[in-house]
Amino acid sequence: MDHLSHLLQGLGATFQWLHLSLLVLGVIIGVIAGALPGISFVNAMAMCLPFTYHFSPIASMMFLAGIYIGGAFGGSICSVLLNVPGDPDALPACWDGYPLTKKKGALRALSISITAGFVGGMTSALILAFGAPPFAKFALRFDQPEFFAATFLGLGGVLAISKSSLPVSLMSLFIGLAIGSVGADPLYGVNRLTFGQPLLESGVDFVVVMIGLYAIGEVVTSMAAVNFSTEVKDKAEMRMLPLRDLWALRATLLRGTAIGSVIGLIPGGGATVGALVAYGVEKQAHPRGKEFGTGVEAGLAAPEASKSATTGTAMIPMLTLGIPSSAASAIMLAALTLKGVQPGPLLFTKDPNLIYAIFAAFLVGNVLMVGISIIVAKFFGKLMSADAAIIGAFIVVFSLVGAYAVRNNMADVYLCIAFGVIGFACSRLNFPTAPLILGVILGPLSERYFMTSMANYDDNVWIFFQRPISCTIMIGALIFITWALFPGLTRKISGLFRRRSTAA
């Protein structure tokens, strides 16, 4: 009862007019920033951080939590309507969301997206509110081998998300790994793959690659085909799915929410990894997995539920251990430390009002996200009724601004344009870019975790199988890879088990 009383007090603090106003404002900013190509919600949180200097800790958390929650869904609006991900975590929404829009209309696609996002986000918020202490104890046992095992699982997802032949997908993945390796070595600080070019010494940020390949590349491809966004004009509406349709997607939503909730706990995981892994798992588990990429509803619902499910659980290691598991939670950690608040287990007893106000903010914020996203989607419907050239120019301008805002570096603008050209070429050649993006995102993380594991455990490569948690994750990853590579073998094994159970 003490826990419930604290949570009710947190809800009371959330509904104070100042805190509620900041939460609403944050959700609005997050949805809009996420929906605009190139202006990610993480950038929006970073840009809004200075405005929290004069806020109380609770007010700061309300504002930033609103941006976090709204942005986690906002990026999907452009993915579904224009095939341009507003954020990296909205990338999987392009693969089935945009084809679904062309097949059944934007109303159906956006309704699935917002419903899945609400289910995942609300479930994650409840886990945050009621399961923080036990989850924190589990995350406390994680070390570098466990982090590497988690990223290895994410890299194995390329076998599931590949829409081309396996060799071509692996080639794309290796190119992405090479791009992610450009710049200074994380352990020794030695430049590599820079070819003596100062422009490359700071490395290549995956957000810049994503913006170039998908935003600018998609605009150029669509304008060359002279059919830019004509399928969805004046149809950008959404609503919550009726219970009958929600029940039909229950298994997909359950899998996606579970995957996102677990990955949100792992530092380095985050919404992008959660969405990618959920899409890959769903492609293997769903009866229509072979049709993914053609507008299957489960292919949109799974990553949408997963990425929203990472938002609440990502706060658990940050609040209980002081370890941010995502860029967004790192910004919220910075806001707290600026106020002299040090997250950790003692914070639950020293300042429970702040902790439970954050819990309540995530619960209320997910409800607000639905209504605000519906309004923003209608705004984008008006936007898409404009001339195709105006829409294309709008996306390119915001994409280049977003690329510059990543690190305030003009080199990123040039790289973004270069990857836009590459994206156009890949589209013309039908070369898969999703594995490339996956390599750029997870490659540097897996390298860092592997190298630090070797340094901390005397170059023992078997350490990943000698620790229970990392061993479990690695075995799960190997099973997943085998499942993807040899679907006939897995069907034979499952059939054998069924025959034995029937005989028994």
Q: Mean pLDDT for each 10-residue chunk of the chain (504 residues)?
A: 78 92 93 74 75 87 93 84 75 86 85 92 92 66 79 69 66 87 78 81 78 75 57 60 86 92 72 81 84 86 92 85 73 82 78 90 93 80 62 75 76 87 84 78 82 87 87 82 65 54 53
How many CA atoms lie less than 13 Å away from 86 in the CB half-sphere?
Answer: 28
Q: Which of 10, 386, 93, 17 is nearest to 228 (CA)?
A: 386
d(CA 414, CA 359): 41
d(CA 464, CA 333): 30
**For residue 183, what are the β-bridge partners?**
192
pLDDT at 233: 46
At 192 the three-state DSSP class reads: strand
Measured CA to CA in angstroms, residue 260 lies from 97, 187, 305, 314 at distances of 19, 30, 7, 10
Q: Cα–Cα–Cα angle for 353, 358, 360, nearest 5°?
A: 95
Phi then psi for residue 192, to 5 deg, are: -145, 150
pLDDT at 228: 47
pLDDT at 135: 65
pLDDT at 126: 93
Q: Determine which helix (DSSP H) or strand (DSSP E) holds 183, and give its type and residue range.
A: strand 183-184
Which residue's structure tokens are 């190997």?
478
